[in-house]
A and B are shown apart, each in its own frame.
Chain A
Amino acid sequence: MEMLTHALSANALLTAFAIVGLVMWLSNAISKHLLFGRVHGSAIAIVIGLAAAFAAGLWTGGTKGVVDIPVFAGIGLLGGAMLRDFAIVATAFEVDVVQARKAGAIGALALALGTILPFIVGSLAAVAFGYTDAVSITTIGAGAVTYIVGPVTGAALGASSAVMALSIATGVFKAVLVMIGTPVVAKLIGLDNPRSAMVFGGLMGTVSGVSGGLAATDRRLVPYGALTATFHTGLGCLVAPSILYLVVRAIVGG
């Protein structure tokens, strides 16, 4: 047993690859066989990750989720800021500029609204729950944009880990809602053509929420929604820690 723990700890990043891989595989199996594709596998995996962090927090009393357990230290490296930013930047490679131009002004409008509206909602909720400092309000507001924009903003502004967790939880909850809710409201909001799919991607933002929700609605709409959604995260990461933060700071002061 001790030898096994040593092998796992000495190869921390490899352990992390193996564990996350198993979690992804399990999540996809649950998505396919138990939920019949209603909830995207990646959403389930993220919920499992959050649940594991919750359980680890109870068990260790630490603040860094499963990373506080030595065997899982590699998860800290895999999900740390360095590789996270590296992977997000890599997704920009899939953006097709010609296709993106087709969405034109209406796609840009959707992107702008999709960043600002959730940010306002998230910020107001943060204020309603007693947060008064600009960094926390901005970080939670950014979390309502997507669960990537939230932690990127929080990390840039130096938010506390608790606020970061709230921010991510908001973004993940939103992504899960989008995945489950999209097939239900698809007809109602006219989601049956590439143009509205691009508007949808720009407004809802979360790539896993959009791709999961569209996959459950009409598989063929996925690339169009994902296209604007990939811009959404970049835009959010650009404006949330800068312009939006400055606006919030100007309003609440400090």
Chain B
Amino acid sequence: MTISGVALLAICTLLGTFLGDLLGSLLGVKANVGGVGIAMLLLIAARLWMARRGLMTPGLKFGVEFWGALYIPIVVAMAAQQNVLVAARSGPLVLIAGVAAVLLCFATVAVISRLGKKGETMDEIEAQAQARAQGDAPSPGKHAV
């Protein structure tokens, strides 16, 4: 059932929000502490638990994934209701913080991905997958991934 997926998502979100509020009051911060993050972990846990018991129906999956697919449009709607006027008037802050953060992260990617052994490139992985696929009897509709 599709509604069971939507309900599962709602329960995880509500529970996460509640736990986030609880954690906030325990920490003495008058705020919701990581409610969304907790809800995400709950949903991942619920998915693994249900998959193991064979409770994961296509309807249930659809009920959750539909909302995941609406994530970008919802962010667009969120952007459209911000006080952009005020943000634009203090423009340089956005420029400096954005550029500095991105450059620093690009540099860090370069350093970290050179740590340890070099991973196989996408081309190499695909070549191997193709070699395996050719070794197997060709089965229609099966992806070589």
Contacts and interface: CB of A to CB of B under 8 A. Distances in A.
A3 interface: no
A164 B82 contact: yes
A48 B100 contact: no
Contacts of A169: 82, 84, 87-88, 94
Secondary structure dominating the interface of A? helix
Secondary structure dominating the interface of B? helix
A204 B92 contact: no
A152 B98 CA distance: 18
A92 B44 contact: yes
Contacts of A50: 79-80, 82, 84
Nearest to B37: A238
B31 A189 contact: no
A63 B85 CA distance: 8
Interface of B: 9-10, 12-13, 16-17, 20, 23-24, 27, 29-41, 43-44, 47-48, 61, 64-68, 70-88, 90, 92-102, 104-110, 112-116, 118-126
Given A24-B72, A76-B81, A80-B78, 16 more contacts: A45-B73, A49-B78, A51-B84, A79-B76, A86-B10, A89-B43, A90-B65, A97-B44, A121-B104, A122-B97, A125-B100, A168-B82, A190-B114, A190-B118, A239-B34, A241-B29
Would you list the 6 A-B pairs with minimal beta carbon distance, nearest first?
A: A79-B77, A195-B119, A238-B37, A49-B79, A238-B34, A57-B85
